[in-house]
Amino acid sequence: MKTPRLLILAFAATAMSLFFTDTARAEETVREWTDVKGRKVLALFLSVDANTDGDQFISLKTADGGVHRLPIKNLIKEDQALALSLQPSATFVPTNLSTADAAAKIDALIYKMLAAKGIKPNAPSSDEQFMRRAYLDIAGRIPSLEEATVFLSDSSANRRAKLIDQLLDSPGYNSHLYNYFADMFRIQDPNNGRGLVRAQPYVDWLKDRIARNKPYNETVALMLTASGKLWNNGATGYLLRDSGMLLDNLSNTFAIFLGTDVACAQCHDHPFSEWTQMQFYQLAAFFGATSTRANGRAMAKKKGEMAVDPQERIMAELTAMNADMATKVERQVRDIIEANRLVVSDTGENRLRLPMDYKYKDAKGGDPVAPKFITWGKTDRRSGAYKENKTKEEEKLRDAFAGWLTHPENPRFGVTIANRLWKRAFGQGVAEPVRNVDDPKSASNPELLVHLGAEMVRLGFDLKKFQRIIYNTNAWQRSTTTEAVPMGTHYYFQGPLLHRMTAEQAWDSFVTLMIGNPDYLRNEDGGQMQNAIDIDVDKTDGKVMASKLEALQRARSDKKEKVNGNIATAGDDMMKRDEIVGFAGMKLMRASELEQPAPAGHFLREFGQSNRELVDGGELSGSQPQVLMLMNG
185-194, 261-270, 271-280, 341-350: range with highest mean pLDDT: 341-350
Task: Give which of 413, 174, 400 is closest to 282, Cα–Cα.
Answer: 400
Give tens-digit pLDDT for 132-187. 999 999 999 999 999 999 999 999 999 999 999 999 999 999 999 999 999 999 99
What pLDDT was estimated at residue 100? 93
What pLDDT was estimated at residue 441? 87
Does the pLDDT of residue 535 top 50, yes or no? yes
Find the mean pLDDT for residues 502-524: 91
Give tens-digit pLDDT for 416-446. 999 999 999 999 999 999 998 878 889 999 9
Which neighbouring-strand residues pair with 290?
Answer: 346
Does the pLDDT of residue 571 top 50, yes or no? no
- C-alpha 173/C-alpha 507 separation (Å) is 15
- Backbone φ and ψ for 505, nearest 5 degrees, come out as -65, -40
Find the mean pLDDT for residues 251-266: 89
pLDDT band, residue 291 (cuts 50/70/90): very high
Rounded (10°) angle between helices 127-134 and 145-152:
130
Angle, CA 595 vertex, CA 590 and CA 599 arms, to 5°: 110
What pLDDT was estimated at residue 63? 66
Does the pLDDT of residue 55 top 70, yes or no? yes
| Residue 308 exposed, middle or buried by CB count within 10 Å (0-12, 13-18, 19+) | middle
**From edge to edge, which strands make up the β-sheet containing 67-71?**
30-34, 40-50, 56-62, 67-71
pLDDT, greater one: 23 or 616: 616
What pLDDT was estimated at residue 18? 36
Find the mean pLDDT for residues 109-130: 96
What pLDDT was estimated at residue 26? 36
Give tens-digit pLDDT for 9-20. 333 433 333 333
Does the pLDDT of residue 1 top 70, yes or no? no
Supply the DSSP symbol for 309. -
What pLDDT was estimated at residue 380? 80
**Which of 287-296, 563-572, 576-585 is the least confident region?**
563-572
Task: Give which of 293, 283, 315, 167 is closest to 240, Cα–Cα.
Answer: 293
- C-alpha 124/C-alpha 53 separation (Å) is 8
- The structure's pTM equals 0.81
pLDDT, greater one: 332 or 391: 332
Angle, CA 127 vertex, CA 121 and CA 131 arms, to 5°: 100
- C-alpha 229/C-alpha 216 separation (Å) is 23
What pLDDT was estimated at residue 223? 98
pLDDT, greater one: 476 or 630: 476
Give tens-digit pLDDT for 200-240. 899 999 999 999 999 999 999 999 999 999 989 999 999 99
pLDDT, greater one: 335 or 215: 215
Handedness of CA 124, 128, 131, 132 (dihedral sign): negative
What pLDDT was estimated at residue 587? 85
What pLDDT was estimated at residue 23? 34
Does the pLDDT of residue 191 top 80, yes or no? no
Q: Given the DSSP bridges, would you call strands 228-229 and 343-346 parallel, antiparallel or unpaired?
A: antiparallel
Does the pLDDT of residue 307 top 50, yes or no? yes
The average confidence (pLDDT) of the chain is 84
What pLDDT was estimated at residue 534? 86
Does the pLDDT of residue 375 top 90, yes or no? no
What pLDDT was estimated at residue 53? 62
pLDDT, greater one: 45 or 475: 475
What pLDDT was estimated at residue 303? 42
What pLDDT was estimated at residue 389? 80
pLDDT, greater one: 339 or 453: 453
Handedness of CA 214, 219, 225, 226 (dihedral sign): positive
Does the pLDDT of residue 530 top 70, yes or no? no
What pLDDT was estimated at residue 256? 96
Does the pLDDT of residue 519 top 50, yes or no? yes
